Structure 1
Amino acid sequence: MNLMHLRGKWKLLFTVTALLVLPALLVGCGKKDSSKAKGYTPKKLTVEFVPSSNAGTIEAKAKPLEGLLKKELGIPVKVSVSTDYNTIVEAMGSKKVDVGYLPPDAYVLAHKQYGDKVLLQAQRFGIKEPNDENTKKLVDYYRAQILVRADSGIKSIKDLKGKKIAVQDTTSTAGWVYPAVEMLDHGVNINKNGIKTVQVKGHDQGVLSVYNKNTDAAFVFQGARKLVMNDQKDIMKKVVPIYTTAKIPNDTITVRGDMSAKWQKKIASAFKDIAKTKKGHDIISSVYSHEGYTDSKDSNFDIIRKYDKEAAKLDK
C-alpha cells in the first residue's frame, strides 16, 4: 500500500509539473513566432531605381533623396540605379536591395518570384496628343506608344512587318509587353513576320534610334520624346506615334517581401511626405515625371498578369 501510495504521489507531482511547464513552453513558442512575424527591420535602407533614360543622369538626380529619406526614417539611406529591370528584381530577391522603383511588369515578376510587396503607385499628369502635352489631371496610369519617323511611310501596325524595332527588356511594360501584345491583337507577331528587334537601354535611346534612322520604330512610354527635346528641338516633327496602347498602371514603390509591417508604413509615409515638399517633388519629377504617390495594392496589377499571359503567345 505504501508503495502504491508513493507511486500515486509521483504521478500527481509529474502531472502538476507538466501543467506548470506546458504554458511556459507555449508562451516561449509564441514569443518566437511573434518575433519572426515582425519581419525585417532595416539598419540602413538601400533604394534602387531602374533606368528609364540615361542611368548616370538618373543617379545624379536621385542621389539627393538619400538625405531626405534619412531625415524622415532616421537611418542611413543609399540610392543607386540598376542596370536593367531584371537586375533590380534579383537584387531585391537576394535581399541586397530593400526598396525598388519598379515598373508594373517588373513588380509582378518580383511579387511572383519573391513575394515583394507594392506600397505605392506614382501619380503623373495625364498626357495627350499632339506633342505629348500634359493635362492638368493627375492619374495613376500611363500608356505606351509605337514611334516612327514622320517621313518613313509607316502608317499602321501592319506596316511594321519586316521592319526593325527598338525595344526595352522583355519585362518592360511599355518597352515591350503592351505594344507587342496589342500588335498581336492587330495580326502582327513581333517575333515573326520578318521583324527584327534591337534592345536599347532607356526609352530616350528608343526615341533617338528612330530619330537617327537606326531603327524603323520604337516601343516607348507616351511622353518619352520629351526626354530628348533639349538636344533634338525638332523631335516632335521628325518622330511621331502611329499607335497608343491601353492604360498601364503607373510605376511602383515596392519593398522586399520580408519587410516588417511597421517599416512598410514608415517607408510609404516617408515617400508620400517627401513628394509634397518642393525639394522632394523636384527630385521625383525630374527623375520619372512623378508628381506624387498614392497607396496601392497587388490586385491593381491583375491587368498586367493578363497581358503577360497574352505575351506568352508570341512564341507559339
Structure 2
Amino acid sequence: MKKSLLALTALAAISTASAAENCRVVNMGFNPAQDSAAVLTNGNAIAKYLETKIRGVQIKTTVAQDYQALVEATRSGKLDFAWLSPVSYVQAHDQAKAVVLLKSVRNGGPYYWSAFVVRKDSGIKTLNDLRGKTIAWIDPNSAAGYTFPRATLVAKGINPDTFFSKQTFAGKHDAAVLSLANGSVDVIATFSNNTQGTSGSWTQYLPADKAAQLVPVVYSKPIPGDTLSVRADYQSGCADVTARIRSAIVGMKSDPAATGLLKKLYTIDAMIPAQDSDYNVVRQAIAASAKK
C-alpha cells in the first residue's frame, strides 16, 4: 500500500512538474492589422516586458499571416494567448473556446468605429455618393474593415455586393490607406478612433499633409475594443501564469517601464478587463453583414 501511495505521489509530482514546464513557455500571437515587421518588433518588446514581470516565463511571439490564421492557430493549440480583433475573438470563442481577458482603450473609451474614407477632392459627401464606386475592404474577419461597415449598409437597406462597382481586400489597414491616397480605389473601410475625423488609420499611417487629403463620410456603430484572449484549456491548466500576464498588461498603463509599448503596438492607451457579453454587438453585426 505504501509503495502504491509513494508511486502515486511521485507520479503526481512528475505531472505537476510537467504542467509547470508547459506553463513556463507561452506562445503569443499578434494580429497582422498593419505592417507585420512593426507588429513583431513591438510584440517582442511587450514579451520582454512581461518576462521581466513574471520570472521564469518565456514568451514566444508570432504575427499571423491574416486574421483567420490567428483564429486557427488558437483553435489548433499553437497559441496560448492571442491579440484578436473583435470579429476574430467571436470566431475563436465559438470555434476554439477562447476566453477574452482584456479589451483595448483608445481616446478614453473601450470602443472605436469603422469609417468609409474617401479623398477630399473626390466629390463624395454622403453615403449615397458611394454608389458605383470602387472599395477596398481590409479582411473578411476585420470588424472595422469589413463586418461593421457592411452591417451599416445593410441596416440602410443596401446590398454591399451590388452597391459598389468593384470590391477588393487590402489585407491591412496601412495598405488600404495607401491604396486610397494613391488613387487605386475610391473608398476604403477602415478604423477610426473618434467620429470627428481627426484620428484613424489615415492619420496614423500617412504624413500629416497626405492625411489631410482624406476624409471620413460615414461611421458605423461603436465597436468594442480589440482583445487579448487566452485559449480556455491553457487558462484552466495554467491559471497562475494567465492571471499574472493579465495583471501585468493591465498594469502597463501606470508603469513607467512600459510607457508607450501598447501605443506602439496598436495605438492602445490601456487594456482593461473584458467579458464575452461585451462582444454580443459584434455577433449582431456579423449576422447583419451576411445579409444581402
TM-score range, shorter chain: 0.7 to 0.9
Deviation of 1:275 (Å): 3.7
Residue 228 (structure 1) aligned with residue 210 (structure 2): no
Name the CA distance, whole Å, in 1 between partners of 2:21 and 2:272: 23
Tell me the residue number matched to 2:266. Answer: 288
Deviation of 1:102 (Å): 0.6
Contact 1:104 1:249 in 2 (8 A): yes
Deviation of 1:40 (Å): 10
Contact 2:135 2:164 in 1 (8 A): no
Tell me which of 193, 202, 213 is aligned to 1:238: 213
Deviation of 1:195 (Å): 3.0
Tell me which of 152, 156, 174 is aligned to 2:144: 174
Encode CA deviations 1:58-113: one digit per residue, 9 max, x unaligned: 21222112221112222111122111110010001111111111111100000000
Judging changes above 3 Å, is the alpha-carbon distance between structure 1 residues 96 and 284 closer, same or farther for their aligned structure 2 residues? Answer: same
Equivalence map 1:55-204=2 (5 Å)? 55-74=36-55, 75-125=57-107, 138-204=108-174
Residue 277 (structure 1) aligned with residue 255 (structure 2): yes
Name the CA distance, whole Å, in 1 between partners of 2:86 and 2:147: 11
Structure-2-length-normalised TM-score: 0.86
Deviates more, 1:259-268 or 1:106-115: 259-268
Name the CA distance, whole Å, in 1 between partners of 2:289 and 2:172: 21
Residue 53 (structure 1) aligned with residue 40 (structure 2): no
Tell me the residue number matched to 2:9. Answer: none
Name the CA distance, whole Å, in 2 between partners of 1:39 and 1:122: 29
Segments of structure 2 that go 5 or more residues without pairing to the other structure are: 6-11, 193-199
Structure-1-length-normalised TM-score: 0.79
Larger radius of gyration: 1
CA RMSD of aligned residues (A): 2.4
Tell me the residue number matched to 1:17. Answer: none
Deviation of 1:124 (Å): 1.2
Encode CA deviations 1:20-70: one digit per residue, 9 max, x unaligned: xxxx9xxxxxx9xxx9xx999522111111122111122122211222111
What is the aligned residue count? 270
Deviates more, 1:69-78 or 1:217-226: 69-78
Name the CA distance, whole Å, in 1 between partners of 2:243 and 2:62: 22
Contact 1:229 1:235 in 2 (8 A): yes
AA aligned to 1:312 is A
Name the CA distance, whole Å, in 1 between partners of 2:21 and 2:115: 39
Name the CA distance, whole Å, in 2 between partners of 1:194 and 1:103: 25
Stretches of 4+ moved more than 6 A in 1? none
Contact 1:158 1:188 in 2 (8 A): no
AA aligned to 1:257 is A
Segments of structure 1 that go 5 or more residues without pairing to the other structure are: 1-23, 25-30, 126-137
Contact 2:135 2:185 in 1 (8 A): yes
Name the CA distance, whole Å, in 2 between partners of 1:108 and 1:40: 30
Name the CA distance, whole Å, in 1 between partners of 2:229 and 2:93: 9
Name the CA distance, whole Å, in 2 between partners of 1:104 and 1:152: 31
Name the CA distance, whole Å, in 1 between partners of 2:257 and 2:104: 17
Judging changes above 3 Å, is the alpha-carbon distance between structure 1 residues 245 and 39 closer, same or farther for their aligned structure 2 residues? Answer: farther
Contact 2:114 2:148 in 1 (8 A): yes
Name the CA distance, whole Å, in 2 between partners of 1:150 and 1:39: 57
